[in-house]
Structure 1
Amino acid sequence: MCSPVSIFVSANPGAHRFRDLRPRQHPTAYREPAVAFAIVLLTTALVIVVALLAAAGAGKLARMDGATYPAALTHAATTFATVITLVATVTATLTALLS
C-alpha cells in the first residue's frame, strides 16, 4: 500500500523551510549610502561630459566664425562655466523644492 498523501496545500508552502533563515538575514540599509554615492558620482560625470561637449561645440563654432584660437578657447571656457553654473542652480532649486 502507498502512504497517505495530503492533497491540501498550505497557504504559504515555503514558510516552514525558510523560517530559520529570517534571523540571519542581513539588513539592506547599509547599501543605501553606497547607491546614493554612485548616483551622485554618475550624475556628476554626466554633467561634466555634457558641459565639455557644449564647450567643444562653442569653441568650434567660434573658430568657424573666424575667431582666433585664444578667443575660441575663451568662448569654450565661458560655455563650460555657464553649463556648470546652470546645473548647480537647478540642483539647488530642486533640492529646496523636494526637501
Structure 2
Amino acid sequence: MVYESRHDVFQAISDPSRRSLLNLLVGKEMSITGITECFPINRTAVNKHLHILSNAGLVKSQKVGRETRYTLKPEPLIELQNWLSFFEQYWDKKLLALKKFIEEDND
C-alpha cells in the first residue's frame, strides 16, 4: 500500500523534534497549546514541525471549536518499516558472525 504525501516520510522524521512530537501524540489527541508546553521551542516552531509531519501524512489535524487538535497517523511509517526490514538480513549476518567469533574465542 502506498501513501501519498507531499513530503518524504524519511525527511519528516529526520528531525529529533519531529520524532519527539510523534512520540508525544501516540495514543492521544493534543492541541497545539498542549504540544507547545511539552517542548522548549516556541509555538511557531512547533507549528512548522506539525505542518511538515502533516504534509508527510504522519499527523492529522482537526478543528475543535477555536483550537486545532493533532493525532498521530502511523500508517506512513510502514514505508520505513519495509525499507528497514530489507536490511535486517545484513544485520543478522553480522550478529551471527560476531556470535561465532566470540564463541570460538572462548573455546
The TM-score normalised by the length of structure 2 is 0.28
Flag the structure with higher helix content. Answer: 1
The TM-score normalised by the length of structure 1 is 0.29
Flag the structure with higher strand content. Answer: 2
Of structures 1 and 2, the one with the larger relative CO (CA 8 A, separation 6+) is 2
